[in-house]
Structure 1
Amino acid sequence: MATESLSELLRRYRTRAGLTQASLADKAGLSEQAISVLERGTRSRPRVDTVRALTAALGLTADETAEFMTVARGKGRKRQAPAPDAEAADSLPMPWQLPPAAPDFTGRAAQIEAILSVLRVPANPRNGTVGLVAVTGMGGIGKTALAVQAAHKLVDSYPDGHLYLNLRGYGPGRPMTTAEALRQLLRSLGLDLRLIPDGVEEAAALLRSQLAGRRVLVLLDNATDVRQVLPLLPGSPGSAVIITSRGAMATLPGARQIRLDALSETESVELLSGVVGADRVAAEPDAAESLTLLIGRLPLAVRLIGARLAARPTWPIQHLVDLLRDEGRRLDGLGSDETGVRASIASSVQFLQTSERSLDREAAQALPMLSVPDGSDLVTAIAAHLLDIPVQRADAILERLVDLNLLDSVAPERYRFHDLIRTYSRELADQTLTSVERDAGIERVLRFYTGFAWACQKLTHSASPRLSLAVTSVGPVPALGRAASAVGWLDDEQRNLMDRFHQAAATSLAGSALFPELALAMFGYHESRSRWVEMRELCLVGVAVAQKLDLRLMAAWLEHDSAIPEVENGSLEAAVAHLFSALDMFRELSDDPGQARCCSSLTHVLGRLDRLDEALQFGTEALRLSQELGYKTVEGVSFIALGGLYDRKGDAARADEAFERGIQLARELGDARSLSKRYLNIGFSHLLVGRLEDAKAPLYNSLKVAEDAGNDDLTTQSLHCLAAVFASQGEHKRAQEYLERALALARQLGNRLREGCFLLELAKFSADVGDSTAAIDHLNAAIAVLQGISPHFEAAARELRALVQRGDRYTYVFDDSGVG
């Protein structure tokens, strides 16, 4: 039997019930228009509450209700089983990432219609296909503009979200790997980065699972080839993909191929009119036609030349035509297939080079060097160091290049090349700059990053012994006024920094002492932002270079820091190996601060591995060394770690003595973050061993210090632990109040793992007092959040839901792995 659509099912059940659309609407509490829209098939995936109202009003049996729910979620009628939880599906993130459509988009009507004809109605689940369109053509031909224009016309067909990803297939720097693209798409769908598999096949399978049963439009821009995009495609019908690429996509299975050529004469003149004004073009129609012909009738070139003319209202169009007729300059030794774009860029550069204004000539001279660094964009401070000039002069040059449309201003003090303009500029760099000059520019950029990172670490980790190894410094930078702004600046610049780090590694700078120094300098930022992937990457390179250059102390600290990402990723044995290696290196150097830190770290990791006797041994050694050195930070951390070990061994008096000393040292240091975290660790330790009354005071203190310092992350953890204490004492109302505050803050922070764990905790509270309805609601919500993020906690939520549904008794037990 053929699969019935939702509209067909609804019409059949309504007719059987003897109801008109109006009477069904009245009975279900819906509008008549809503019924009409569903029966026409205009909307085939209604809201959950709408579906429930309809099944009740139609008087459907249990089997019919299951069938109706399944079809309403886009699953077809292939099996008579309950549909996946509808509330879970409705609570999935709905990304809306499409760039804005170009306001002056011109022509391409046939191509737009071709895309819409394939994708306007989501793929039919009966034939199991995914809507797929590949738009190909040369750089600057308008592929992205066309794809974005079409995508905006399709928004109503894909109500579950629209993803956009620039795969960087053609342009400066390395293309995005398939693994990186998968991570970014999965992050856009709300998954925690730490829970995304490293392997391409596993991550691709997870992406297909996330898109299954949803209608999402994906725009994969600037793809390298078919191999790059195949793992990024949905695996089930409903979603659709538009791909743009300069390369051929003919071997992409099932794709509608659309190849773009240059604009027609009429379209290119119309686009020029939209930029410079119709009256001006009408006054020189022949010159306008000649101009668009000379620039290859490419949309990018037309906009560039049009912008020049618009900025110079006294220039005749013919003047630009005369400039572009010099074929030697126009070709500039490049292929004729790119003549138009190259000529437009060359004319802009020539204007700067021949200008009477010194700023224009400086801008022309700066353009090649500005194109040298990899990365997506360029901030003013980086440009100043790259050019080795004052920041104010760099700002003036960048703004002048924006005036000439040779750079785009994407944010205050942040600029971006179009890929073709950057390609042209890099060729100029090859012609005008020696490799020594180019490498020197990259070195100045890395030095700025290193000096900035050290300054940031002084703000975030003022007692870090790594600071004594700082060699590079940076002058005054506004972002370094306080820790939050310094960390925020590095947030924005992190991707560029990594691209330029790898770029430098492929130049004469490879093996420079800047590599281990930058890795050490970035510790403060990486630890503050939990950037464990980048920390591991920099440490890996840094250790190797430091050892090669016999920078033994740097190598030892980087070996120690290599353990941190392993701990955070749960690879505790690997972390222990790094720490023992680092400890040996510090001992060979007779470096007591390093030994103290390694022993303190081993106390923590070995304790997590339940190697308590070894942990106590290293904790005692860390305490001895730190006290001898006056290393207050490690001394305080060691006291707290030892207190936790004593608590677990049942020696409460000794534990409390160690805890008190750790708190006293934190107060002496005046570090609010450390003080809050130490109070939290004390309360958590008491909670684990059942000292519930003793846990309250340190947790209240942790909460107050965190709130006063504006540390939302520690605030959520403190609230959660307080909730667990009261729940363990049977005070569920107070427990729920604290946990609901933690849940609201986790949602505000976008921390979906904590959100899911807190929902699971709320369900446990409800189940403990016998409120099965509330428990099921919380569990459904938790499962929806945790799907694809934490298989462990998702399984725990499903297991508890099954227990509650069976009517079994549940008694609340705190799960320490859920602290998050």
Structure 2
Amino acid sequence: MAHEFGPLLRSLRRQAGLTQEQLALASGLSVDGIGALERGHRLRPRRDTISLLVAALGLDQDDAATLQSAAVPPRRKPPRAAERRRVGWTGTPHQLPAAPSVLVGRETLASDIESSLTGPTGRAGARPRVVALTGMGGIGKTALALVVAHRAAPQFPDGQLYLDLRGHGRAAGLSLTDALAHLLTSLGLHADDVPVDEDRALAAYRTRTSGSRLLVVLDNARDAAQVDALLPSGSENAVVVTSRASLGAQLEARQHALSPLPEDVARELLAERVGHQRMSSDEPASRTVIASCAGLPLALRIVAARMQARPQWAVSDVAQRLADRDTRLTELDSQGLAVATSLGDSVDQLRGSPDPTDQDAAELWLTMGVMPAPQVGLSGISHACSWPPDRTERAVERLAEVSLLEEPAPGRFRMHDLVHDLAHRRAGAELGRAEQDVRRRAALAHYVALAWRSRSLVRSTPEGFDDDSITAGMDPECSPRDCLAVIDEESEQLLRLLDEAGDDDKSAELIPLLALGLVSLFVTRVDNTRWADTLAFALDRVPQEATDARVWLLQDLAMAHSGRGQHDLALRSAERAADLAGATGRREAEAAALNACAIALRRLGRLTEALDVCGRALVLFEREGDVRGQAIGLRDMGQLHFQNGDLETGIGFARRSLAIYEQIDVPRGLTMSHLNLGVMLRERGDLTDALHHLALAVSLSRDVGDLALETEALDELGEWHLLAGDAREGITVLRDGLAVIADHGSGQWEASIRRRLAIALESLGRPAEADEQWGAALRICEQRSESDQAAQLRQEWARCRAERAPASRDGT
């Protein structure tokens, strides 16, 4: 007995005791899609859709066969000879589906592709012109292909063919036999005459396309192999292929990898569909809606459809629905279109593949759902998966090949936000909480080891901690600078893991170690705000009895506060660290804390107290045999004497510090000693020796990769040129410092550099440019609440303007 598919599906669903929503959740299909099937709006469901329904309904073999047969329409009788010759059977094919009415942001690309398809042809016998559009599901490949194909259609008088290869999903995709049958019948061959043998069918296809001028659109290709046999014969033909996989090299195609739409283009696309006035009615909510769609045209299309269907919704209502990461994908589902289904098809295809690399790629994708940030750090994700690096790299490359990862720069990978949302949802459903914690903790422990080893670039090993146990299992060849490079590259993931570590007791134990280890990252980035926040976060979570950790966290917090200009807070933190270290007998820690107190006192202008405290710290360093601490203490004593007006004593301490740093080979400390000594010698008038040390400081800071030191060294070298009477070279060097700040944001010395630039420009008679630098330096000081420095700048600027006035009057 024949069954209609829709009523049969409804009956089976009800027998299983499921609602449409429950069946949608169990099958991975959309609620709208299931409704359309049951109502008979979709008469020929795909085979993979039927397989999903069979599994979700738990059908036995007989019911499954009945459902599958109901989906196959009755086979029509072959046409009689007269019918084969009816009008239109062998007519010119015009099979292109309708193109979207709106194309925003890709007009230039569309024109470029059209030119590629319709331009001069190749030599006789050459392959057809092939353009491949690649990218993630929902990125707009088919829409762009159809727009271009319709525009180019007049240039292809022999017709335009369209074929959906169904290459992405759990099903195997359209077979070569079925694809050739469609193409051959579209070109006039009767279905009864299509060769059953694939080789003969291919020969027939090449014969029928040779010498023609056809445009063929092959949509949703699985890979190059699925496409290659379907390319028509002859260079007069043209082909547009869309795929989630990279195809260019294999097909000798001109490939265009589509990226998410920029924010302004996404806004324009949405506004074209729902109205500019509606989008402008609530700007913050509109920005949230656009950000939630993350530039994915499919997501924007779904949001537009829902907003059009519900004109009573304010933009803020839509924004609120999309803001929650856990429910966002549920909202991006409408009228048979679902972002989760589109993106999930690619993952399911990897999972169903017999290729081990494909299966690894699917597993790594799931693990990325456990990680809090969409950034894919090869180092961290390898440890989360417990895989060797080469296995991880192969899996990452595979994900990039099928557009489940973006590669914004060579070797740098990132998940699209909505892909990451789907991975997060799948991980939550498929992995238990314990397993998710294990994977996050493995990545976090690895970052702790990397950060701890990098700490030596800026600080010595804290008293009470064992380097070997913290970095156990690390490659001994991984240098501190290599470790810093990794944590810098993967910092987005690392810092998000740190933020979430407090939710897992075992991960929380790693927080103070990571916070202490990250000193090199924050110091070289000059990110004192995030540094202070991280240290405060760790202090809130470290047990009271963990005194060693508290002492060193407080010391680092003092330095972070000082870097932000909050010297009173810095002094309080350093004093707390010194008291705690003294009470527990940790003399090296006490010496380091006293040294931090001295730095804060110096910056508060309390030089006499600072000299006394720094002297006490130096005595403790010497008593404990802490050579690196002695070098630090001598360097800071030199700075204090210099600032107190005792230049010769300051130079003496600076030379002693430099000698120790040269012996123990600490590059950053060596750089700072050359810089300090160079400044003192410059002020004494020893310009030749000063230039030697300052130039070395610039060079060494670049070797170390410390942006703060580099800008400080360029600042002081620029001042050297000004004092030497070469204002033009001084301006060049100072602008090099501003370039470093512009590129990397290391702005600790920006106000000083701009002040010196202003002075140099004044000396060259360029007052307008000088005023620009004076104003910029003043704004920086005001933003940092550095009132004394701001007052000094105002006085200097006013004096310069006053000195210009007589010259101006003389010239009138």
1:445 CA drift (Å): 1.1
Aligned to 2:802: 803
Alignment of 1:445-594 (within 5 A): 445-459=443-457, 461=459, 468=466, 471-473=469-471, 481-482=478-479, 484-507=481-504, 509=506, 512-548=508-544, 550-594=545-589
Could you give the per-residue CA deviations for residues 710-729 of structure 1, whole angstroms, max 9, x where no partner exists? Answer: 457656645654665686xx
Once the two structures are TM-superposed, the CA of residue 557 in structure 1 deviates from its matched residue by 0.4
SS state at 1:570 partner: coil
Q: 2:373 aligns with which of 366, 372, 375?
A: 375
Provide the residue aligned with 1:741 in structure 2.
733
Q: 1:737, CA displacement in angstroms?
A: 3.8
1:270 and 2:146 equivalent? Answer: yes
The residue type paired with residue 782 of structure 1 is Q
Q: Of residues 429, 437, 440 in structure 1, which corresponds to 2:427? A: 429
Deviations 1:291-348 (A, max 9, x none): 9xxx9xxxxxxx998252656338999xx9xxxxxxxxxx999965575433334433
Whichever residue aligns with residue 659 of structure 2, its letter is: Q
CA distance in 1, matches of 2:628, 2:370: 42
Conserved? CA contact 1:720–1:738, under 8 Å: no
1:703 paired residue among 690, 695, 700: 695
TM superposition shift of 1:509: 4.7
Residue-by-residue CA offset, 1:241-293 (whole Å, 9 max, x unaligned)? xxxxxxxxxxxxxxxxxxxx9999x958727979xx999x96565888999xx
Q: Show structure 2 runs of 5+ residues with no match.
A: 1-97, 111-137, 174-216, 232-241, 243-328, 783-789
Report the residue type matching 1:442 in the other structure. R
Q: For 1:398 and 1:151, how far apart are their aligned partners in 2? A: 31
Deviations along 1:217-254, one digit per CA (max 9) or x if unpaired, are: xxxxxxxxxxxxxxxxxxxxxxxxxxxxxxxxxxxxxx
Equivalent residue in structure 2 for 1:636, among 631, 637, 646: 631
Pairing of 1:256-267 with structure 2 (within 5 A): 267=143
- 2:694 and 2:713 in contact (8 A); partners too: yes
The residue identity in structure 2 corresponding to 1:496 is: Q
Conserved 8 A contact 1:515-1:542:
yes
One-letter amino acid matched to 1:807: P
Q: Which amino acid aligns with 1:491?
A: D
Does the 8 A contact of 1:702 with 1:718 survive in 2? yes
TM-score of the superposed pair, with normalisation by structure 2: 0.55
Q: Distance in 2 between matches of 1:416 and 1:459?
A: 29
Q: Distance in 1 between matches of 2:377 and 2:161?
A: 41
Match of 1:673 in 2: 668
1:602 corresponds to:
597
1:747 shift after superposition? 3.0
Q: Do the aligned partners of residues 273 and 422 (structure 1) sit closer, same or farther apart at CA in structure 2, a change above 3 Å counting?
A: farther
Q: CA deviation at 1:579?
A: 0.5
CA contact (8 A) 2:166 2:220 kept: no
Closer, same or farther: CA 410–669 of 1 in aligned 2, 3 Å? same
Larger Rg: 2
Flag the 1:315–1:423 CA change in 2: closer, same or farther, 3 A. Answer: farther
> 1:452–1:474: 8 Å Cα contact kept in structure 2?
no
Query: What's the secondary structure of 1:439's corresponding residue?
Result: helix
| Separation (CA, whole Å) in 2 of partners of 1:403 and 1:152 | 22
- Rounded to whole Å, the distance in 2 between the matches of 1:437 and 1:316 is 45
1:471-498 Cα offsets, whole Å, 9 max, x none, are 43265669x7555554333332222221
The answer for the alignment partner of 1:658 in structure 2 is: 653
Kept in 2: contact 1:752–1:786 (CA 8 A):
no
1:165-184 Cα offsets, whole Å, 9 max, x none, are xxxxxxxxxxxxxxxxxxxx
The structure 2 residue matched to 1:624, chosen from 619, 629, 634, is 619
How far apart are residue 699 of structure 1 and its match?
Answer: 5.6
**SS state of the match for residue 700, structure 1?**
helix
Return the alpha-carbon distance in structure 1 between the equivalents of residues 726 and 719 of structure 2: 10
Q: Name the CA distance, whole Å, in 2 between partners of 1:340 and 1:488.
A: 40
Shift of 1:536: 1.3
Question: CA offsets per residue over residues 581-624 of structure 1, 9 Å max, x none?
Answer: 11111112211110110111112211222223321221121111
Moved more, 572-581 or 699-708: 699-708
Query: Could you tell me which of 398, 402, 409 is aligned with 1:404?
Result: 402
Q: CA deviation at 1:391?
A: 1.7
Paired amino acid for 1:519: A
CA distance in 2: counterparts of 1:696 and 1:262, whole angstroms: 61
Contact 2:460–2:628 (CA under 8 A) maintained in structure 1 = no
SS of equivalent residue, structure 1 residue 664: helix
1:450 to partner: Cα distance:
0.8
Q: Distance in 1 between matches of 2:399 and 2:459?
A: 39
**How far 1:413 moved relative to its partner?**
4.2
When residues 573 and 481 of structure 1 are mapped into structure 2, their CA distance, relative to the original with a 3 A threshold, is same
- 1:735/1:636 Cα in 2 relative to 1: closer, same or farther (>3 Å)? farther
Structure 1 distance, partners of 2:693, 2:101, is 65
| Unaligned segments of structure 1, at least 5 residues | 1-105, 113-145, 154-260, 296-302, 321-330, 810-820
- Cα separation, 2, equivalents of 1:463 and 1:361: 42
**2: CA distance between counterparts of 1:333 and 1:684?**
62
Q: 1:610 to 1:470 in 2, by over 3 A?
A: farther
After superposition, the Cα gap between the structure-2 partners of 1:489 and 1:734, relative to the gap in structure 1 and judged at 3 Å, is same
Query: Which AA in structure 1 matches 2:557?
Result: S
Find the partner of 1:384 among 382, 385, 405: 382
Confirm or deny: 8 A CA contact 1:460 1:483 kept in the other structure.
no
Are the equivalent residues in 1 in contact too, given 2:407–2:413 (CA < 8 A)? yes
The Cα of 1:516 is off from its aligned counterpart by: 0.6
2:601–2:609 Cα contact (<8 Å) kept: yes
Distance 1:397 1:714, change over 3 A: closer
Structure 2 CA distance, aligned partners of 1:284 and 1:745?
58
**In the aligned structure 2, how far is the partner of 1:676 from the partner of 1:554?**
28
Asked whether the equivalents of residues 725 and 735 of structure 1 are also in contact (C-alpha less than 8 Å), the reply is no
Contact 1:386/1:445 (CA < 8 Å) preserved in 2? Answer: yes
SS at structure 2 position matched to 1:371: helix
1:782 matched to 2:773? yes
State the Cα distance separating 1:389 from its structure 2 match: 1.8
Give the alignment of 1:43-192 within 5 angstroms.
110=102, 146=104, 148-149=105-106
CA distance 1:421–1:650, shift in 2 (3 Å): closer
Tell me: CA distance 1:282–1:664, structure 2 relative to 1, closer, same or farther (3 Å). same
The answer for the alignment partner of 2:685 in structure 1 is 693
Q: Does the 8 A contact of 2:718 with 2:733 survive in 1?
A: no
Give CA deviations for 1:696-746 in whole Å, capped at 9, x if unaligned.
63563243354366457656645654665686xxx6624654454343454
User: RMSD value over aligned CA atoms?
Assistant: 4.6
**Match for 1:494: what amino acid?**
S
Residues 1:338 and 1:703: Cα distance change in structure 2 (over 3 Å): farther
CA distance in 2, matches of 1:490, 1:289: 38
SS of 1:620's partner is: helix
Going from structure 1 to structure 2, the CA distance change for 1:788 and 1:310 (only over 3 Å counts) comes to farther
Measured at CA, do residues 748 and 348 of structure 1 come closer, stay the same or move farther in structure 2, by a change above 3 Å? closer
Which of 223, 226, 236 is the matching residue for 1:312?
226
2:640 to 621, 645, 649: 645
How far the C-alpha of 1:543 sits from its partner, in A, is 1.5
Shift of 1:782: 1.7
Distance between the aligned counterparts of 2:633 and 2:391, measured in 1? 50
Percent identity (aligned): 19
Partner of 1:194: none
The Cα offsets for residues 159-201 of structure 1, whole Å up to 9 and x where unpaired, read as xxxxxxxxxxxxxxxxxxxxxxxxxxxxxxxxxxxxxxxxxxx
Instruction: Quote how far apart the aligned CAs of 1:524 are.
Output: 2.1
